[in-house]
A and B are shown apart, each in its own frame.
Chain A
Amino acid sequence: MAEPLFSVRGLKVALPDMTRKPLVGRAPLAEILKGLDFDLPKGSVTGIVGESGSGKSTLGRALVRLIEPSAGAIHFEGRDISHISESELRPLRRDLQMIFQDPMSSLNPRHTIFNIIAAPLRQNGLGDRLKERVAEALQRVGLPQNFARRYRHELSGGQRQRVGIARALALSPKFVLADEIVSGLDVSTQAQILTLLEKLAAEMGLTVAFISHDLSVIRRLCQQVIVMREGRIVEASATDALFENPKETYTRDLLAAIPLPEIDADWLQSKAPA
């Protein structure tokens, strides 16, 4: 196995629980991630799957250090980044990129697509040859060059997601966090975006954490899968092994609950997990 890009040990994250916040004073902390250990090998695509409240998005945010862990260590290329300061993080930001679920809210409505893709390039000292770099980024995700002059509302959902990918990849990062990036899309568009990400990850040798609630999109794209539930890892293994021989009941329940597009008169009656 390749050397890990990320090595995570005993990761815990606690966040203020606003539902229990008293009128005056601080909200009590709720532990969202309860001690996670895993590696993300260099150049691999890892699926992180779980239902709502499993902590999968919090895990993603901790990896790119949008939030600081409360315990444990996150090693990125061998260096512990779990508690380093914002100024120490800055040079790493270029290598840690994100693509979000809803490009409508993550793309600035007042900026052209050109500026949206160019902004992080400028910030990271790649302001030279800007036109060329943006053109390259658009081409990479299969968007026509004249899209550079458009605004986000002039784009379809799939096109917006392509812009999100173009922006993240323009910096040639080492790691990409993709959080539910196809959840809001139609199936035909979803297939296009997944195929694109699959191709680009292979071409650019990216390490990707692909967060999803949907196991069926993970099988095709990911080499390994981490199944989460209530802030813990239920099962982590190579993708084929997980799908062909799931070890944990919870994983089997998740698979059994997916309605496959084929006739199966017994499916509805088969036991649904409690």
Chain B
Amino acid sequence: MSACLDIRRLSAVLPNGQRVLRSVSLSVQPGEVRALVGESGAGKTMIGKAVLGVLPKSVRIVEGEMLIEGEDLGRLDAKARRTLIGARTALIPQDPLTALNPSRRIGSQMTDRLVRILGWSGEKADKRIRQLLDEVQIRDPERVLKCYPHELSGGMRQRVLIAAAFAAEPRLIVADEPTTALDVTVQKQILRLIAQLQRDHGTAILFVTHDLGVVAKISQKVSVLYAGKVVEEADTAQLFAAPQHPYTRALMAATPRYTDPYASLKPVDESVLAGLAAEIATADKAWRPSHG
């Protein structure tokens, strides 16, 4: 069985030639949650965008392959690529308020995608949406479907988008910091919902987050990113039991833990950052000659 998502040595550059993704390799097996964790500028969101084919125009992929269920996106023409991505993947975004059209009711926005992209009948789409609203534990679907986005709370909006993402039975969902904007109690409910739907539907998830706490609770596999480079890749349980890379260890020591206040919140040591800079310089030097 081929991987749900397979990224091989993906590199991307900005117009000035600066590399923003550095030979990134990672895979997500069917039904698996892989966390992509890193700080701002690590390139985690960019990888998600590359998978969904929505990279900003300024970012150019110069090397590598992306395969969705064994199909190489690079070998497809633009239209076929969009169709494949549209049918097999979905996004749960960070900020549901910007992802939803403020001037349209929730119901029509949710069915629209199924009808327009997947060619479902309106009736089938409507039935499917109601089923998913039930699965994300929205108790009064009639009211929610008639609401405009601003009439719902942040947690409710995120539930709606989770329902929309799972509705089309995608094989892979890219979840881009889906709980970052939420209160901690709501975050827990949303994480539990995502985990439950993921299990029930057997969906693979690429879960982008900056929070090692979220990584520990939601994922089975994890890739740690720094400056567009995967510095460590492991089973999640193993990463927390025995982090290998100095940067991973530094991130863990910096993450606040109320159970252990004096062992946490440790500023990242300069030597770790210097080591990372050297590692990246070496990688870039080795990379440049063959690609000009």
- Which A residues fall within an 8 A CB radius of B? 51-52, 157, 186-188, 190-192, 194-195, 213-220, 243, 253-264, 267-269, 272-273
Cβ contacts under 8 Å, B214 to chain A: 259
Partner of B212 from the list A220, A243, A261 (CB cut-off 8 Å) is A261
- Which B residues fall within an 8 A CB radius of A? 39-40, 154, 183-189, 191-192, 195, 210-218, 236-237, 240-241, 250-252, 254-259, 261-262, 264-268
Contact assessment for B185 and A51 in the assembled complex, using a CB-CB cutoff below 8 Å: yes
Partner of B258 from the list A258, A264, A267, A272 (CB cut-off 8 Å) is A258
A253 CA to B183 CA, complexed, in Å: 12
Contact assessment for B258 and A216 in the assembled complex, using a CB-CB cutoff below 8 Å: yes
Cβ contacts under 8 Å, B218 to chain A: 268
Contact assessment for A259 and B213 in the assembled complex, using a CB-CB cutoff below 8 Å: yes
Given contacts A191-B254, A260-B259, A272-B192, contact A51 B216 (CB under 8 A): no
Contact assessment for A254 and B185 in the assembled complex, using a CB-CB cutoff below 8 Å: yes
Partner of A261 from the list B184, B187, B216, B237 (CB cut-off 8 Å) is B216
CB distance from B132 to the nearest CB of A (A): 20
Could you pull out 21 A-B pairs where Cβ atoms are within 8 angstroms?
A: A51-B183, A187-B39, A187-B210, A190-B254, A190-B256, A195-B265, A214-B184, A215-B184, A216-B256, A219-B258, A220-B261, A220-B262, A220-B265, A253-B185, A254-B184, A259-B188, A259-B213, A259-B217, A261-B212, A264-B216, A269-B192
Contact assessment for B189 and A186 in the assembled complex, using a CB-CB cutoff below 8 Å: no
Partner of B216 from the list A219, A256, A259 (CB cut-off 8 Å) is A259
A192 CA to B184 CA, complexed, in Å: 23
Cβ contacts under 8 Å, B215 to chain A: 261
Contact assessment for B192 and A261 in the assembled complex, using a CB-CB cutoff below 8 Å: no
CB distance from B140 to the nearest CB of A (A): 16
Contact assessment for A255 and B258 in the assembled complex, using a CB-CB cutoff below 8 Å: yes
Cβ contacts under 8 Å, A267 to chain B: 217
Contact assessment for A188 and B185 in the assembled complex, using a CB-CB cutoff below 8 Å: no
A254 CA to B258 CA, complexed, in Å: 12
A253 CA to B185 CA, complexed, in Å: 7
Central interface residue in B183, B241, B256, B265, by most chain A CB within 10 Å: B256
CB distance from A183 to the nearest CB of B (A): 10
Contact assessment for B267 and A195 in the assembled complex, using a CB-CB cutoff below 8 Å: yes
Contact assessment for A51 and B184 in the assembled complex, using a CB-CB cutoff below 8 Å: yes
CB distance from A24 to the nearest CB of B (A): 22
Cβ contacts under 8 Å, B154 to chain A: 52
Contact assessment for B267 and A261 in the assembled complex, using a CB-CB cutoff below 8 Å: no
Partner of A257 from the list B39, B187, B251, B265 (CB cut-off 8 Å) is B187
A219 CA to B250 CA, complexed, in Å: 20
Cβ contacts under 8 Å, B250 to chain A: 188
Cβ contacts under 8 Å, A186 to chain B: 39-40, 210
> CB-nearest residue of chain B relative to A218?
B258
CB distance from A240 to the nearest CB of B (A): 9
Cβ contacts under 8 Å, B39 to chain A: 186-188
A272 CA to B251 CA, complexed, in Å: 27
A235 CA to B214 CA, complexed, in Å: 27
Contact assessment for A192 and B217 in the assembled complex, using a CB-CB cutoff below 8 Å: no
Given contacts A186-B40, A253-B185, contact A261 B252 (CB under 8 A): yes
Contact assessment for B184 and A213 in the assembled complex, using a CB-CB cutoff below 8 Å: yes
Contact assessment for A257 and B255 in the assembled complex, using a CB-CB cutoff below 8 Å: no
Partner of A213 from the list B40, B183, B195, B251 (CB cut-off 8 Å) is B183
Cβ contacts under 8 Å, A219 to chain B: 256, 258, 261
A217 CA to B211 CA, complexed, in Å: 14
Contact assessment for B183 and A187 in the assembled complex, using a CB-CB cutoff below 8 Å: no
Contact assessment for B189 and A272 in the assembled complex, using a CB-CB cutoff below 8 Å: yes
Partner of A263 from the list B236, B256, B261 (CB cut-off 8 Å) is B236
Cβ contacts under 8 Å, A217 to chain B: 256, 265
CB distance from A76 to the nearest CB of B (A): 30
A268 CA to B199 CA, complexed, in Å: 13
Contact assessment for B257 and A257 in the assembled complex, using a CB-CB cutoff below 8 Å: no
CB distance from B178 to the nearest CB of A (A): 13
CB distance from A265 to the nearest CB of B (A): 9
Contact assessment for B265 and A268 in the assembled complex, using a CB-CB cutoff below 8 Å: no
Contact assessment for A259 and B191 in the assembled complex, using a CB-CB cutoff below 8 Å: yes
CB distance from A60 to the nearest CB of B (A): 18
Partner of B185 from the list A191, A257, A264, A268 (CB cut-off 8 Å) is A257
Cβ contacts under 8 Å, B191 to chain A: 259, 268
Cβ contacts under 8 Å, A256 to chain B: 188
Given contacts A191-B268, A213-B184, A253-B185, contact A259 B211 (CB under 8 A): yes
Contact assessment for B267 and A260 in the assembled complex, using a CB-CB cutoff below 8 Å: no
Cβ contacts under 8 Å, B266 to chain A: 191
Cβ contacts under 8 Å, A254 to chain B: 184-185
Cβ contacts under 8 Å, B183 to chain A: 51-52, 213
Cβ contacts under 8 Å, A261 to chain B: 212-213, 215-216, 240, 252, 255, 257
Cβ contacts under 8 Å, B237 to chain A: 263
CB distance from B249 to the nearest CB of A (A): 12
Central interface residue in B250, B255, B259, B267, by most chain A CB within 10 Å: B267
A187 CA to B248 CA, complexed, in Å: 12
